[in-house]
Chains A and B, each alone.
Chain A
Amino acid sequence: MDLQTLTYTVVGFTFALYIGIAFWARAATTGEFYAAGRGVHPVANGMATAADWMSAASFISMAGLIAFNGYGASVFLMGWTGGYVLLALLLAPYLRKFGKFTVPEFIGDRYYSRTARIVAVICLILASVTYVIGQMKGIGVAFSRFLETEYDTGLYIGMGIVFIYAVMGGMKGITYTQIAQYCVLIFAYTVPAIFISLNLTGNPIPQMGLGSTMADGSGTFMLDRLDQVVTDLGFKEYTTQVMGSKLNMFVYTLSLMIGTAGLPHVIIRFFTVPKVKDARSSAGWALVFIAILYTTAPAVGSMARLNLMNTIQTGEVGSAEGNVEIANVPQWMTNWEKTGLLQWEDKNGDGRIQYYNDKNAEFTAKAESYGWKGNEMTKVDRDIMVLANPEIAQLPNWVIALVVAGGLAAALSTAAGLLLAIASSISHDLLKGVFMPDISEKNELMAGRFAMAGAIAMAGYFGLHPPDFAAGTVAIAFGLAASSIFPALMMGIFNKKMNRSGAIWGMISGIGVTMLYVFQHKGIMFIPGTSFLGDMGPSWFLGISPNAFGAVGALVNFVVAIVVSKVTAPPPDHIQHLVEDIRVPKGAGTATDH
């Protein structure tokens, strides 16, 4: 069977599986639609949380960023796992004890204020929609490769499928489907990694392969070889290159960590376990399943980079025959050229491709002496690396088909979970909670579905011109969640004296500062050309990139909230008792709806 047919078969089979499960477990009541009736086992919940969590950013985008940023991309690895520690220790058990369906519901009740609830809904929608934009980028990349079309067409088709998929089921359907998706995506991620690690280092365990010697008998460590290969072409040394500065990396990591603990679609997961005890262990189980992919990613990224460099620089640097001939580029390069995400141009007309760092003045001088006239790989979209990886490593066709299915599973599961969070915040928190308390269950479900459709259309529109690679866009979403939701939740539990005004002003100033910083560098609503300070390093505050600014926003949130709460009236007694009550597990009943 040729690759195209095989890919259709594998993707078709996995889709039939998800839709079958979604149909079998489809939601009938609002309770099931939002929270699966709380009957989900911690291990199952952990696996579903992992699928929900690991999106296009983790599956498709992250290893590509690791490949090109080396050590600097550690921010994603630490940031997107370390947040689970915060979630488990600081939020999950208490939110489960509180026993409501949504994050704004907690904030509204804890801060005895409808305004606080509405502010939380707005923050949540901003973060979630930005997150879905990142997913749309990943979905567009996966579909364009899978259907061999342009990125834009792939994106439109992807939007349609996400819509059908998310609107049909609610949380319960999604929970069971996500378990299936986890299995598909983790299998699809680790199988090629094992093959590639075996090919390059002879060690079948990618985590060990990272620190092993090359299998070519040279006795050189894989990472040392990679450092050598990239620095020979003027790129920065893989294992030491930093992202911006150490300070930027520190803030970036922190922003992703607290964003993780503030994202509604992850928090909502801990409402669905039977007991407080289970909420604690669920976070651990989720991280176990996530860690399998995250500890494999450094091997995937570094080995993909090594294979890519070796594909183009086939011989000695500077020798006439040292580069791949354009007439003989491997099939995967021509496949990806069709999507517009990989492009090359023969600048010096020698019929071969030179791929090097032409921003490095020292190396450019050397390159000129070889007759090279600039870097000829004019576009290498980082987001294609994972999907192209098995093709680059010349793995069998079924592995390539599997990876496409895995990428789609990752992007779809997260998009569905986020859309559910958006739908519930609009239909449940805004309509039922604030504007139309008498709305019937049926109409509430209907409103939720309309909200999803609107969110997909909006995210798709921005997905045509995403502000960054999938992982970068998602990082902005984390910054927004970090600067608004997390501080309000944490202080709601750990600071009994935190009051309504403190929380509201904290959230507004936190997310306000973050959005202002992102927009002034990335464009208003990410529209290119509207950024009034320019997306450039020198204009960044202390060299902190917009993607990393959520941590600063969170700090502003904490400070403003504490100062405001000191000068305004303390929360009423019954609220202080409520806080005392959520601090102990005893008496956690099943969740109630108002």
Chain B
Amino acid sequence: MNKTAEQYWKANIRLVSVLLVIWFICSFLFGIILVDPLNTIKIGGVGLGFWFAQNGSIYVFLVLIYVYAKRMNALDVEFDVHED
């Protein structure tokens, strides 16, 4: 692997790690582990923990994939590894 390809891969791993940490927080942490304390906070008639487990996490997942696609496409150009 040449220098740029190596840096590109490192940047990719960094991005993926950050996004996966958020992925874990919004689903496993908020939706399951911390569900009871979060349920004391209500949005409308829904406890926050319950909301993350049944609705909120899904919205966060969407944002994560959007950010990933956008950032990776930018990285492709930056490191000149994009297609054609």
- Chain A positions within 8 Å of B, measured between CB atoms, are 66, 71, 74, 77-78, 81-82, 84-85, 88-90, 93, 207-208, 210-213, 221-224, 239-240, 246, 249-250, 253-254, 275-277, 280-281, 283-284, 287-288, 291, 294-295, 298, 580, 583-588
User: Can you show 22 pairs from A to B with CB atoms below 8 A apart?
Assistant: A71-B35, A77-B57, A82-B23, A82-B61, A88-B65, A93-B72, A211-B51, A212-B44, A221-B44, A239-B47, A240-B36, A240-B39, A276-B83, A277-B73, A277-B76, A284-B65, A284-B69, A287-B62, A583-B5, A583-B9, A584-B9, A585-B82
Name the CB-closest residue of B to A249.
B32
Which of A71, A287, A298, A588 is the one whose CB lies under 8 Å from B55? A298
The reply on B41 being an interface residue by CB < 8 A is: no
Interface residues of B, dominant DSSP: helix
Q: Find chain B residues with CB under 8 A from A288 CB.
A: 62
- Using a CB–CB cutoff of 8 Å, the interface residues on chain B facing chain A are 1, 5, 8-9, 12, 16, 19-20, 23, 27-28, 31-33, 35-36, 39, 43-47, 50-51, 53-55, 57-59, 61-62, 64-66, 68-69, 72-73, 76, 80-83
A280 near B69 (CB under 8 angstroms)? yes
- By a CB distance below 8 angstroms, the chain B residues around A586 are 76, 80-83
Contacts A253-B27, A275-B83, A298-B55 given: A85-B64 contact, CB under 8 Å?
A: yes
> Are the CB atoms of B53 and A74 closer together than 8 Å?
yes
Given that A221-B45, A239-B50, A588-B83 are known contacts, is A280 also in contact with B61, CB under 8 Å in the complex? no
With A81-B61, A246-B33, A585-B81 as known contacts, state yes or no: A211 contacts B53, CB within 8 Å: no
Assess the B58–A291 pair: CB atoms within 8 A.
yes
B69-A88 in contact (CB<8A): yes
In the assembled complex, the Cα of A288 lies from the Cα of B81 at a distance in Å of: 28
Question: Shortest distance in angstroms between B68's beta carbon and chain A's nearest beta carbon?
Answer: 6
Q: Is the CB of A287 within 8 A of B54?
A: no
Which of B43, B57, B65 has a CB less than 8 Å from the CB of A283?
B65
- Select from chain B the residue with minimum beta-carbon distance to A584: B81
Q: Which of B46, B61, B82 has the most CB of A within 10 A?
A: B61
Report yes or no: A77 in contact with B16, Cβ–Cβ below 8 A: no
15 more A-B residue pairs beyond the given contacts A89-B64, A90-B16, A586-B76, with a C-beta to C-beta distance below 8 A:
A74-B31, A74-B50, A82-B23, A88-B65, A88-B68, A89-B19, A89-B20, A89-B65, A246-B32, A250-B28, A288-B62, A291-B62, A295-B58, A298-B54, A585-B83
Q: Bound complex: CA of A283 vs CA of B23, how far in Å?
A: 15
Contacts of B51 in A (CB 8 A): 211
CB < 8 Å neighbour of B46 from A77, A85, A223: A223
How far, in whole Å, are A45 and B14 apart by their CA atoms in the complex? 28
In the complex, chain B residues whose CB is within 8 Å of the CB of A580: 1, 5
B64's nearest neighbour on chain A, judged by CB, is: A85
**Interface residues of chain A: helix, strand, loop or mixed (majority):** helix
Q: How far is the CA of A77 from the CA of B82 in the complex (A)?
A: 35
Across-interface contacts of A249 in B (CB, < 8 A): 32
Contact pick for B76, options A240, A253, A298, A585, CB 8 Å: A585
CA–CA, A586 and B4, complex, Å: 13
**What residues of chain B lie closer than 8 Å to A207, measured between beta carbons?**
55
> Given A93-B72, A221-B45, A584-B5, is A287 in contact with B65 using a C-beta cutoff of 8 Å?
yes
Q: How far is the CB of A93 from chain B (nearest CB, A)?
A: 7
Give A246's nearest chain B residue, CB to CB.
B32
> Do the beta carbons of A77 and B58 come within 8 Å of each other?
yes
How far is B42's CA from A212's CA once the two chains are assembled, in angstroms? Answer: 12
Which residue of chain B is the closest to A276 with respect to CB atoms?
Answer: B83
Residues of B within 8 A of A222 (CB): 45
Are B53 and A280 interface neighbours, CB within 8 A?
no
Contact of A291 among B32, B59, B83 (CB under 8 A): B59
Identify the interface centre among B1, B53, B68: most chain A CB within 10 Å of its CB: B53
Query: How many Å lie between the Cα of A583 and that of B19 in the bound state?
Result: 18
B61 to chain A, nearest CB (A): 5
State in angstroms the CA–CA spacing of A246 and B28 once bound together.
10
Q: Which of B8, B16, B58, B66 interacts with A584 by CB under 8 Å?
A: B8
List 6 A-B pairs, minimum CB-CB distance, nearest first.
Answer: A221-B45, A211-B44, A74-B53, A284-B65, A298-B54, A280-B69
Q: A211-B43, A253-B28, A583-B9 are in contact. Are A85 and B58 (CB under 8 A)?
A: no
Residue from B31, B32, B62, B83 within 8 A of A284 (CB atoms): B62
CA distance A212 to B20 in the complex (A): 32
Shortest Cβ gap from A208 to chain B (Å): 8
On whether the beta carbons of A78 and B31 are closer than 8 Å, the reply is yes
Q: How far is the CA of A74 from the CA of B43 in the complex (A)?
A: 18
CB-nearest residue of chain B to A284 = B65
Instruction: Quote the shortest CB–CB distance from B39 to chain A (angstroms).
Output: 7
B33 engages A284 (CB within 8 Å): no
Q: Which residue of A lies closest to B46 (CB)?
A: A211
Q: Which residues of B contact A77 (CB under 8 A)?
A: 53-55, 57-58
Interchain CB contact under 8 A, A71 and B57 = no
B35:A280 contact, CB within 8 angstroms: no
Q: Chain B residues near A212: list those with CB within 8 A.
A: 44-45
Give the shortest distance, in Å, between B53 (CB) and chain A (any CB): 4
Chain B nearest CB, measured from A267 CB (Å): 16
Q: Whole-angstrom distance from the CB of B2 to the nearest CB of chain A?
A: 9
Tell me the bound Cα distance from A77 to B72 in angstroms.
Answer: 27
Say yes or no: B65 contacts A253, CB within 8 Å: no
Residues of B within 8 A of A253 (CB): 27-28, 31-32
* Distance between Cα atoms of A246 and B54 in the complex (Å): 15
Q: How far is the CB of B81 from chain A (nearest CB, A)?
A: 4
Q: With A and B bound together, what is the CA distance between A444 and B68 in angstroms?
A: 39
Which A residues are CB-close (under 8 A) to B43? 211
Q: Which residues of A contact B33 (CB under 8 A)?
A: 246, 250
Contact in complex: A280, B73 (CB < 8 Å): yes
CA distance A376 to B26 in the complex (A): 41
**Cα-based distance from A585 to B12 in the complex (angstroms):** 12
Interface contact B46-A210, CB-CB below 8 Å: yes
**Using Cβ atoms and an 8 Å threshold, which residues of chain B touch A587?**
83
